[in-house]
Chains A and B, each alone.
Chain A
Amino acid sequence: MPPQLKTLLPVLAVFICIFLVARHFLIPDSFGKYGHYRANSMDEIAALPAHHIGKAACMDCHDTEAAKLNSDLHSGLTCEVCHGPGWQHMDDPEKNKLSKPGTREFCGKCHDMNPARRTSVIHQIDIKTHNIDRANCIDCHNPHAVWEMKD
C-alpha cells in the first residue's frame, strides 16, 4: 500500500468517527418522535405569546361593534385585519391603544379600482375621484356597518 494511503485512510476513518460521535450528541432528544423535526419544539411554540387574539376575544368587550360588523358585508373580516394585532391591547386597553385607520389609502388597499380584482366580490371605487369633498372614507362610511352613511 502506498504510504500516502496509510495515512489518509486512518485520517478518513477518524474523521468519520468524529462525525458520527458528534452527530450522536448533537441530535436533540425528541428528534424524530413524530416526524423529521424536534418534537419538543411543538410545546415551545405553543407556549409563545399569541400576537393575534382573534375576533372572539375582541367581542368580549366590543360586542356592539362586533354585532354590527357581523351583520353585513365586512362580516368575513376579523377585527385585527384593520386594527392590527391586539394582544398588548387586551393586556392593558388603556395603555395600548389600537390604530383606527380610515384614510383613502388604507381603505383603497381593498376598495381602489384594480382590474385584477373581481368587482362582484369587492366593491371598488377610484379613490382619487370618489367624493373628493371629504378627506377620509370614514367621514361618510362606517366600516363596522357599511350600509350606514354618516351625515
Chain B
Amino acid sequence: MEHLYEMLKQVDGYIYPNEIELHWGILIVLYPYITGLVAGAFILASLERVFKIKVLRPTYHLALLTALAFLLVAILPLVTHLGHPFRAYEIMTTPHLQSAMAIFGFVYLWYLMVVLLLEIWFDYRRDLVLWAEQSTGIKRRLYKILTLGVTDLSPKTIAWDEKLGFIVTVVGIPSAFLLHGYVGFIFGSIKANPWWSSVLMPVIFLLSAMVSGIAMVMFLYMVVSRIRKVKIDMPCLDEIGKFLFMVLILDFTLESLDQVHRIYEAEESFEILHMLVNGKLNITLFIMQGLVGTIIPLAILGFFRIHLPKEKIRKPLYMLSGLMVLVGVFFMRWNVVIGGQLFSKSFLGFTNFKLGMIGAEGYLMAIFWLVLPFCILSFFLWLVPPWKKHAEAELTE
C-alpha cells in the first residue's frame, strides 16, 4: 500500500491504477529490435541468393550467420522479462490459438528450424564434410555431427544442396517477412492503444527491421574485414549502402505517413499523443530516431548517390551511418514500446519510466542480451568461417 502511494509521485494528471508502472521495459524493447536484425540480415542474404545480386556475395554467409546468432537470442529477453524459464515451453505445448503471442512461438520455430538452420546447413554441408576430413580432435567430431551423416560429395548431391538451399531461401523470404511483420502485428493489433493500433505497424516494423539488419551486416562486414586485415570489397559495400538508402527512404516515408495520417485524423487520442511526442518522447523520437537514425544517414547515403567520394572517406561514413541507423532503429522500438505505455488510456495523464541499472529489467541485463549474439557470431565465424569455404568454382563443377 505504501508502495502505491510512493509510486503516485511519478504520475501527472489522471491515470488508471494499472498504468502507473510500465509492465514492458527495456527487455521488450530489445525483443523486436533483435528479431528485426534477424529478418533484415536474412533479407540482405536473400538478395544475393534469390535476386542474384552477385556483388553482395562477400556478405552472404556473414548475413546468414548474423541472422542465426541473433535469432538464437531473440526470445531470451522475453524469457528474462517473464521470469519463469521453466514454464517458457508452455507457450509451445499448450498454445492458445487465439493468442497472437502464442502463435509467435511457432512462427519463430519455423523460421529457426526450417529456414535458417536448413539454409545454412545446405550451404555448408560440403565444406563441413571437407573440414571434418582436414581437422582433428573435437573440431573434427563437431563437423562430423553437423553433417548429420550426409557425407556424399558427388556432383549430383552437391547440385541438390544448391537446389534445396535455393528453395529454402525462397520460402525464407516470406517467412522473414512473416516473422517480423508478426512482431509489428502484436503491437499494431492492440486496439486500446492509439499509439500502437495501426494497420501500418507490421509494415513499418518490417521495413525498420530491414533497415537495421542491413546496417548491422554492413557494420559487421567492415569490422570483420578490419579484424581479418583484408581489404573491404568496395562495390559490395556501395551496393549495401544503396539498398540501405532505398529501404531507409521507404521506412521513413511509411513512418511519416503513419504520423501524418494520425495528425490529420486527429482522433480523440490526438491531444495526449501530441503531448507525449513533444514531451516525454521528445529526445528519443525527434533527436535519436528522427535526426540521428534517419535524417543524417539519409543525407550521407543520399549524397553518395549523387557523388561518390574516395574510399578513404566513404568507409568511415558508411560505418558511421550504419551505427547511426542501428541506434535510430533501437530508439524506434523504444518509442513504440515505452511510448505506448507512458500515457493513460483515459487520455488524461502520464506516468514516468526510469530505466534501472541492476536487476532483470535493468540496462545491464539488456546489454548482456545485446552482447551475447556477437559472442555467438564470433563462435560461428570461428567454427564455420565463410572465408575458408571451398571455392565457388568447385561448388558448381
Contact = CB atoms under 8 A, between A and B. Distances in A.
Interface in B155-188: 157, 160-161, 164
Interface of B: 1-2, 5, 8, 13-14, 89-90, 92-94, 96, 113, 118, 122, 125, 148-150, 152, 157, 160-161, 164, 348-349
A11 interface: yes
Contact of A4 (B5, B90, B96, B125): B125
Interface residues of A, number: 26
A80 B113 CA distance: 53
A76 interface: no
Contact of B93 (A3, A4, A27, A117): A27
Contact of B96 (A6, A36, A85): A36
A4 B5 CA distance: 64
Given A31-B94, A85-B1, A109-B5, A116 B157 contact: no
Contacts, number: 51
B14 A2 contact: no
Interface in A104-124: 106, 109, 114, 116-117
A36 B94 contact: yes
A8 B349 CA distance: 56
Interface in A48-87: 80, 83-85
A31 B87 CA distance: 14
A39 B164 CA distance: 46
Contacts of B93: 22-23, 26-27
Contacts of A2: 157, 160, 164
Contacts of A6: 150
Interface of A: 2-8, 11, 15, 19, 22-23, 26-27, 31, 36, 80, 83-85, 99, 106, 109, 114, 116-117
Contact of B349 (A5, A26, A84, A116): A116
A84 B1 contact: yes
Given A8-B148, A36-B96, A109-B8, A99 B2 contact: yes
A4 B150 contact: yes
A116 B94 contact: no
Contact of A7 (B1, B94, B96, B150): B150
Contacts of B13: 114, 116
Given A11-B148, A116-B14, A106 B5 contact: yes
A106 B9 CA distance: 11
